[in-house]
């Protein structure tokens, strides 16, 4: 017999306040060419908002080490300290160059899971990733040749390979990957940044992306995996050091670069809370729209235990908000 329980607090809605604050603060820097300033504004707003949450949180996936402050650093405590013990993954501005240059798909994103359930990449900065939609779950292997993987995804989606669109970061390291994809006849969207957004687009319907392939940041991979688990897609990863120095650090830390990291390795709990707010206009999230008297935001909010996915449109009135907020949105 299934055990039922009363609805409890959905912390994902609290996380949406955190990403909204970061998006509102950083959007003032859209197109101004100052990615550090935009990121810094998002971090400051995110930290203030986090510390109002009734959690005992620890940043597992952050922006660096403590000596790189003011960024939200790995190991930083967030929340009031009273409440559930949670692992936190943050990217105050995913796509800082996108924001600085006024390009699409910059987002503010946060994920939260129970303590100990989120993969800690340690010194592994880069990960080779394969992300497929729910239709293709269980059908792919990151070690397979590109052509075989694309045939499997096309079969799952009832498409021809040439109908597929693959999200790939536009980096020199992907020259061979891009050539292999083109040899199959599949099409490619090349993006300079934003592989969390790319991973989400590969899983969310009607984004124009069917699959994501290639190497990006390991922290971004863990962050994306939390959302993909809720959405029912599949992500596989393999640590992919980009230098001999990184490879040595990864080996010293006991990480195995030959291991295929599956969903349960990247996030081992279904008790997931996730929120992302658009900063610049994107495929699946609108950016911040300043109205003169305030702003409008659009957020994607998910809770793993219930599988609930919400799109939240919020209107913010600065004349009221600024009376009580310590964050300067003007």
pLDDT-derived band at 62 (thresholds 50, 70, 90) equals confident
Q: Are residues 131 and 256 in the same domain?
A: yes
Q: Are residues 239 and 280 in the same domain?
A: no
| Domain-located, residue 328 | no
* pLDDT per position as a tens digit, 259-291: 999 999 999 999 999 999 999 999 999 999 999
- Residue 229 near residue 252 (C-beta atoms within 8 A): no
Q: Are residues 291 and 242 in the same domain?
A: no
Question: Count of domains in the chain?
Answer: 2
**Largest separation between any pair of C-alpha atoms in the chain:** 59
| Domain-located, residue 2 | no
What is the token pair recorded at 262? 């599956």
Q: Are residues 144 and 201 in the same domain?
A: yes
Quote the CA–CA distance of 97 and 47 in Å, as a whole number.
21
Task: Give mean pLDDT, residues 127-142.
Answer: 98
Closest CA to 273 of 4, 1, 6, 13: 13
| Domain-located, residue 4 | no
Half-sphere exposure of residue 236: CA atoms within 13 angstroms, side-chain side: 18
Instruction: Compute the mean pLDDT over every residue in the chain, rounded to the nearest whole number.
Output: 93
Task: Give mean pLDDT, residues 194-223.
Answer: 95
pLDDT-derived band at 66 (thresholds 50, 70, 90) equals very low
Binding residues: 39, 63, 91, 94-96, 126, 171-173, 193-195, 217, 220
| Domain-located, residue 330 | no
Q: Are residues 108 and 87 in the same domain?
A: yes
State yes or no: pLDDT of 40 exceeds 60.
yes
Task: Give mean pLDDT, residues 207-235.
Answer: 96
State yes or no: pLDDT of 5 exceeds 60.
no
User: How high is the pLDDT of residue 316?
Assistant: 94
Q: Are residues 24 and 67 in the same domain?
A: yes
pLDDT-derived band at 8 (thresholds 50, 70, 90) equals low
Domain CATH code at residue 84: 3.30.540.10
Could you list the residue range(s) of the whole structural domain that residue 196 is in? 126-266
Domain CATH code at residue 167: 3.40.190.90
Binding residues for substrate: 94-96, 126, 171-173, 193-195, 217
User: How high is the pLDDT of residue 10?
Assistant: 85
Quote the CA–CA distance of 268 and 76 in Å, as a whole number.
21
Q: Are residues 225 and 308 in the same domain?
A: no
pLDDT-derived band at 317 (thresholds 50, 70, 90) equals very high
* pLDDT per position as a tens digit, 76-115: 999 999 999 999 999 999 999 999 999 999 999 999 999 9
Binding residues for Mn(2+): 39, 63, 91, 94, 220
Q: Are residues 201 and 163 in the same domain?
A: yes
299 vs 330, higher pLDDT = 299
Task: Give mean pLDDT, residues 188-209.
Answer: 95
Q: Are residues 108 and 195 in the same domain?
A: no
């Amino acid at each position: 017999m299934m055990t039922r329980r009363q609805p409890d607090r959905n912390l994902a809605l609290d996380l949406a306040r955190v990403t909204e604050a970061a998006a509102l603060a950083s959007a003032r820097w859209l197109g101004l060419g100052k990615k550090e300033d935009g990121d810094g504004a998002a971090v400051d707003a995110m930290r203030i908002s986090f510390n109002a949450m009734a959690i005992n949180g620890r940043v597992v996936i952050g922006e660096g080490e403590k000596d790189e402050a003011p960024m939200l650093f790995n190991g930083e405590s967030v929340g009031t300290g009273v409440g559930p013990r949670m692992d936190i993954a943050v990217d105050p501005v995913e796509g800082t160059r996108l924001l600085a240059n006024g390009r699409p798909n910059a987002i503010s994103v946060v994920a939260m899971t129970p303590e100990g359930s989120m993969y800690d990449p340690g010194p592994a900065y880069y990960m080779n990733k394969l992300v497929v939609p729910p239709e293709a779950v269980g059908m792919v292997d990151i070690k397979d040749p590109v052509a075989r993987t694309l045939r499997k995804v096309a079969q799952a989606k009832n498409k021809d390979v040439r109908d597929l669109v693959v999200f790939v970061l536009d980096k020199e390291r992907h020259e061979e990957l891009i050539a292999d994809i083109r040899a199959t006849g599949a099409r490619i969207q090349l993006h300079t940044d934003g592989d969390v957004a790319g991973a989400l687009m590969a899983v969310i319907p009607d984004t124009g992306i069917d699959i994501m392939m290639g190497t990006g940041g390991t922290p971004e991979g863990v962050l994306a995996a939390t959302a993909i688990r809720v959405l029912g897609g599949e992500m596989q990863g393999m640590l992919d050091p980009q230098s001999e120095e990184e490879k040595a650090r990864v080996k010293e830390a006991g990480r195995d670069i030959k291991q295929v990291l599956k969903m349960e390795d990247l996030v081992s709990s279904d008790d997931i809370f996730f929120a992302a707010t658009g900063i610049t206009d994107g495929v699946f999230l609108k950016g911040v729209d300043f109205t003169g008297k305030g702003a409008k935001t659009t957020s994607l909010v998910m809770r793993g235990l219930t599988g609930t996915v919400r799109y939240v449109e919020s209107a913010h009135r600065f004349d009221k908000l600024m009376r009580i907020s310590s964050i300067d949105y003007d």
